Structure 1
Amino acid sequence: MKKDTIPCKEIDVRPFAYAISLVDGKWKMHILFWLWKKEILRYSEIKRALGKVTHKMLSSQLKELENDGIVIRKEYPQVPPKVEYRLSEKGKSIMPILSAFCKWGHEHIPDGWQIP
């Protein structure tokens, strides 16, 4: 072993990988942002807020967030069907991280930057 190398203890990447797996996906962080800001949104409102997302992609991302216990889906028995989404307690517990991410973005956004 070289003098200038420091032996590393084994690093447990599982907690990080788990946390990232919950928000991994092109639209999940965007969905969480809008639910954080608006609290309760219908499917069409989320789709409108996200803009270019496809129906298939949005449905898939919402199902994954629901299956992971991050988002709660409430369906009302009426015609036409009404479905609302909101953050679960587990989802709300992610918001300090999202808030810090927003703060960092606010502090480092280049002048004139626009959403692609």
Structure 2
Amino acid sequence: MANEMELDRYLNILKSTESNNECPVKCTLEIIGGRWKLRILLQLLKKEVSRFNKLKREIPGITNTMLSNSLHELEESRLIQRIQYNEMPVRVEYSLTDYGKSLLPLFYEIAAWWNNYSH
């Protein structure tokens, strides 16, 4: 949990932004938000390295197109890395970058908030 000094610092950041476009929460949610990105990130946190078809099996309801688009956006955001091996057939693996791994404390805080909220 954030201490009072950290909360005050964050409130000052929010107050100093001139528009909602600069809000750090809004910007973060634009990067990790949506129906599929969070699920992909959580799967990669659990498995560390995964291939496309494995991710597809682990995320019920996602289409190939949505998985492909979401992976591409997460890669552009530098949260995941895509490694292609020059083998036949071609093997591609996805994993979290250090930026992606740095989301773990955020996910922990969200889970803790949910536990408090849901009880």
Same fold (TM over 0.5): yes
Q: Report the equivalent of 2:55.
A: 46
Q: TM-score, normalised by structure 2?
A: 0.76
Q: Report the equivalent of 1:25.
A: 34
Q: Report the equivalent of 1:77.
A: 86
CA separation in 2, counterparts of 1:107 and 1:10? 27
Higher helix share: 2
Query: 1:89 aligned to 2:98?
Result: yes
CA separation in 2, counterparts of 1:32 and 1:109? 23
What SS is found at the alignment partner of 1:69? coil
Contact 1:47-1:53 at 8 Å conserved across structures: yes
Contact 1:25-1:61 at 8 Å conserved across structures: no
Which 4+ residue blocks in structure 1 deviate beyond 2 angstroms? 9-13, 99-110
Q: Report the equivalent of 2:43.
A: 34
The count of residues paired between Structure 1 and Structure 2 equals 102
Larger radius of gyration: 1
Q: Report the equivalent of 1:16.
A: 25
Letter in 2 for 1:45: K
The gaps in structure 2 that reach 5 residues or longer are 1-13
Q: Report the equivalent of 2:73.
A: 64
State the 1:28 CA deviation. 0.4
CA separation in 2, counterparts of 1:103 and 1:24? 19
